Each structure stands twice: as structure tokens, then as C-alpha cells.
């Protein structure tokens, strides 16, 4: 019998229905008529520690709005589709996506600690794409056979929903491939469940010859509290390069002052802004979308408020391109 780790307990305790979430925030469902109570198939899900950073009684709270299912999700819009990134065509081995020449992405786990309403994951069939340990060895063989690949990205879902012994085993195999130099993890855990960043994780992540890079996903300065800052400091002191990507979201962070504060707070945590993503046009997310011209104007203004190294690159993902597409 193995006992669950603290972070796994916290994961289980997360709120998974709208009624409980509204009740936690002392909101009367009558005052939030757009909220959806049953939410199949993309369930509501949010850790209690993240809920604690929401403002009590505020139905417009920017953290709440990232996780609250609302009726607008059922509005269809012709240019918002189920797989806008065409991920099915770049999936040569189960669990592995290669779109770019020098780096591959492993979809380590379909699960997340939080379900973000704007996410492409609401439709992607990750459950069909977890190949089991034999399958992961096929992914390792694919990487071993391709000397152009220098960087492997653990992604998902959230790869840090997987246990450390499994992740450490994969990392060991990767470290045995001479042309792989860098192990990057894309995860929202340090933000939404910072207790996940424990010694066991840091030990394997920084314990091999691979250069460790961790890209967090934080959209709003209110997501950063002392627990997040502590996790970031532990990672930074262990030698992990910390970067952040955000998604530009209407009604959440489409504002120069919010984005400026976000960059400054990330910097206090030794995290450098990396990408500001334009929304992928995923069915059910049109209410978060902003015109590209608005995004460009916002980004232009950011340059006046921040040193260049704290301005994230404004990008969008266009299927079939050899990299992300730099808008500015």
C-alpha cells in the first residue's frame, strides 16, 4: 500500500462542480444566471488553493471566470472548431507530437489539476493517446533515431499530474540519448497547486545532465501568491530556467495595467514572460476571443511600460508552420 502524497490529496480535494464553487465564494446562483450547473463532458475542476485566491462575492473575478462554465460555451461560431491545431496529423507515435524540427512534445497525461474553460483540451482525445510504458518506449526510440531532436517537452494535459517515479524513469531514458540536451516541462501546477513542486520532483528534474526548463502558465497577477512565489524560488535555486506563457483572454487580462503587473510579479518570482498566446479558435471559447488588431495595440502599449525582457512575445499557432507564428 502506498499512501498518497500531500499534492495528490490536494488534487482530490479540488472543487468539481459549479454549485460548490459558487457556494465557496458566497455567490447566489441567481446572481450568476449564465453559470452552467451540470458540465459534461468538460467538467469543472479547480484546486481549493486557487479558489482561495478568488475574491469572495465577486461574480466577475478573473480567476473565477477562467474556470466557471457559462452558457456562452454552447454558442457555436463557424471559425471555432474542435481541433483547430490539426494535432491529429503530427502524431507519428502515440503520446508524441512533432510539429517542429528540433523539439518534440510528449502528451504525458490527459489530466489537469484545473480545467480552464478556454483550453483546446476540452475536445482533444487524450485518453486515446496514453500509450502505457511500452508505448512510451516507442516514443523514446523515435527520439533516439532522430539526431535533429535536441529538446523534449513534457506536456499534456498537465504532465505533473503524473507521479514522480514515472516521470523520473522517462527522464532517465531521455538522458541516455546523447543528442537530447534539454528537458522542458509545460505545466500550470506551480501556479494552481504549488504544493506539487516538492523535493522529489526537484531532485529528479535537476538531477540529470539535461538542462531543466519549466514553462508555467499564468494569466493574471492575482494567480500569484506567497505559495506560488515559494515554489518558484525552490525551482530557481535548484537551477531551473523559469518561463511563463499566458493566453490573452477577453474580460480576464486584456488590459495593459493587468499585463504589466503580471510581468512584474512574475519577475519577482524569477519567472520570465515567454509567450502571450492569441486564443486558439476552439469550439466553445469564442467569448474569450479578441480581434488580432486589439491584441497588437495592447502589446504595443506594453512595450512602453516594461523593460524589453519583461515583454512576452505575442504569438499564435497556425497549423502546418515550422514554428509558432510571431505576431509581434
Binding footprint of ligand PLP on the chain (CB under 6 A)? 97, 99-100, 103, 105, 153, 323-324
| HSE toward the beta carbon, residue 303, CA cutoff 13 A | 8
**CB 227 → ligand SF4: shortest distance, Å?**
17
**CB 103 → ligand PLP: shortest distance, Å?**
5
Interface with ligand SF4, residue 161, by CB under 6 A: no
219 versus 263: smaller Cβ distance to ligand SF4? 219
Peptide bond into 157 cis (omega under 30): yes
Interface with ligand SF4, residue 65, by CB under 6 A: no
**CB 56 → ligand SF4: shortest distance, Å?**
23
Of 228, 216, 163, the residue nearest 186 (C-alpha): 216
**CB 154 → ligand SF4: shortest distance, Å?**
12
**CB 62 → ligand SF4: shortest distance, Å?**
15
159 versus 212: smaller Cβ distance to ligand SF4? 159
**CB 181 → ligand SF4: shortest distance, Å?**
25
| HSE toward the beta carbon, residue 316, CA cutoff 13 A | 15
| HSE toward the beta carbon, residue 63, CA cutoff 13 A | 27
Tell me, residue by residue from 204 to 233, as one string, x for binding to ligand SF4 by CB under 6 A and - for no binding: -------------x----------------
Q: Tell me the number of residues near ligand SF4 by CB under 6 A.
A: 11
Query: Please, are residues 163 and 2 in contact by the beta-carbon 8 Å criterion?
Result: no
Q: Which does 112 bind (CB under 5 to 8 A by kind): ligand PLP, ligand SF4, none?
A: ligand SF4
**CB 275 → ligand PLP: shortest distance, Å?**
7
Q: Which does 97 bind (CB under 5 to 8 A by kind): ligand SF4, ligand PLP, none?
A: ligand PLP
124 versus 205: smaller Cβ distance to ligand SF4? 124
Residues 135-139: contacts with CB under 8 Å, at least 24 apart:
135/93, 135/94, 135/95, 136/95, 136/106, 136/170, 137/173, 138/93, 138/94, 139/93, 139/94, 139/95, 139/96, 139/106
Q: Do the bridges between strand 325-326 and strand 313-316 make them parallel or antiparallel, or are there none, so unpaired?
A: antiparallel
195 versus 317: smaller Cβ distance to ligand PLP? 317
Buried-exposed string 170-188: b where 16+ CB fall within 10 A, e elsewhere: bbebbeebeebebbbbbbb
φ/ψ of 322, rounded to 5, equals -75, 0
Query: Please, are residues 131 and 139 in contact by the beta-carbon 8 Å criterion?
Result: yes
Interface with ligand SF4, residue 119, by CB under 6 A: yes
219 versus 306: smaller Cβ distance to ligand SF4? 219
140 versus 218: smaller Cβ distance to ligand SF4? 218
Q: Which does 314 bind (CB under 5 to 8 A by kind): ligand SF4, ligand PLP, none?
A: none
Cell of 259: 499585463
Task: Classify 155 in phi/psi space as left (phi over 0), alpha (psi -120 to 50) or beta.
Answer: beta
Interface with ligand SF4, residue 276, by CB under 6 A: no
- Which of 73, 158, 164, 280 binds ligand SF4 (CB under 6 A)? It is 158
Residues 221-224: contacts with CB under 8 Å, at least 24 apart:
221/258, 221/261, 221/262, 221/264, 221/265, 222/53, 222/62, 222/63, 223/50, 223/53, 223/63, 223/191, 223/192, 224/191, 224/265, 224/266, 224/269
Interface with ligand SF4, residue 196, by CB under 6 A: no
**CB 65 → ligand SF4: shortest distance, Å?**
13
112 versus 224: smaller Cβ distance to ligand SF4? 112
Residues of this chain that interact with ligand SF4 (CB under 6 A) are 112, 114-116, 119, 121, 156-158, 188, 217
Amino acid at each position: 500500500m502506498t499512501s498518497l502524497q500531500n499534492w495528490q490529496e490536494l488534487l482530490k480535494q479540488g472543487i468539481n462542480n459549479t454549485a460548490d464553487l459558487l457556494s465557496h465564494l458566497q455567490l447566489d446562483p441567481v446572481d450568476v444566471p449564465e453559470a452552467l450547473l451540470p458540465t459534461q463532458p468538460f467538467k469543472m475542476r479547480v484546486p481549493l488553493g486557487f479558489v482561495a485566491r478568488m475574491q469572495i462575492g465577486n461574480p466577475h473575478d478573473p480567476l473565477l471566470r477562467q474556470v466557471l462554465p457559462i452558457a456562452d460555451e454552447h454558442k457555436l461560431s463557424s471559425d471555432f472548431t474542435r481541433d483547430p491545431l490539426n494535432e491529429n496529423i503530427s502524431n507519428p507515435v502515440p503520446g508524441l507530437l512533432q510539429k517542429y524540427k528540433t523539439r518534440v512534445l510528449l502528451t504525458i497525461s490527459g489530466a489537469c489539476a484545473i480545467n480552464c474553460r478556454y483550453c483546446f483540451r476540452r475536445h482533444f482525445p487524450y485518453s486515446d493517446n496514453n500509450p502505457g510504458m511500452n508505448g512510451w518506449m516507442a516514443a523514446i526510440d523515435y527520439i533516439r533515431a532522430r539526431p535533429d531532436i535536441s529538446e523534449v517537452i513534457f506536456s499534456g494535459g498537465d504532465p505533473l499530474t503524473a507521479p514522480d517515479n514515472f516521470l523520473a524513469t522517462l527522464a532517465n531514458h531521455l538522458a541516455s540519448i546523447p543528442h537530447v540536451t534539454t528537458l522542458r516541462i509545460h505545466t500550470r501546477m506551480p501556479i494552481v497547486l504549488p504544493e506539487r513542486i516538492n523535493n522529489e520532483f526537484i531532485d529528479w528534474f535537476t538531477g540529470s545532465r539535461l538542462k531543466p526548463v519549466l514553462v508555467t502558465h499564468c494569466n493574471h497577477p492575482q494567480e500569484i501568491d506567497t505559495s506560488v512565489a515559494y515554489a518558484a524560488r525552490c525551482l530557481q535555486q535548484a537551477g531551473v530556467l523559469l518561463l511563463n506563457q499566458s493566453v490573452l483572454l477577453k474580460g480576464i487580462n486584456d488590459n495593459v495595467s493587468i499585463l504589466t503587473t503580471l510581468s512584474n510579479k512574475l519577475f519577482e518570482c524569477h519567472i520570465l514572460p515567454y509567450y502571450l498566446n492569441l486564443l486558439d479558435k476552439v469550439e466553445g471559447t469564442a467569448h474569450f476571443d479578441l480581434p488580432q488588431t486589439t491584441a497588437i495595440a495592447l502589446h504595443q502599449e506594453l512595450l512602453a511600460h516594461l523593460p524589453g525582457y519583461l515583454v512576452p512575445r505575442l504569438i499564435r499557432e497556425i497549423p502546418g508552420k515550422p514554428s509558432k507564428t510571431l505576431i509581434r
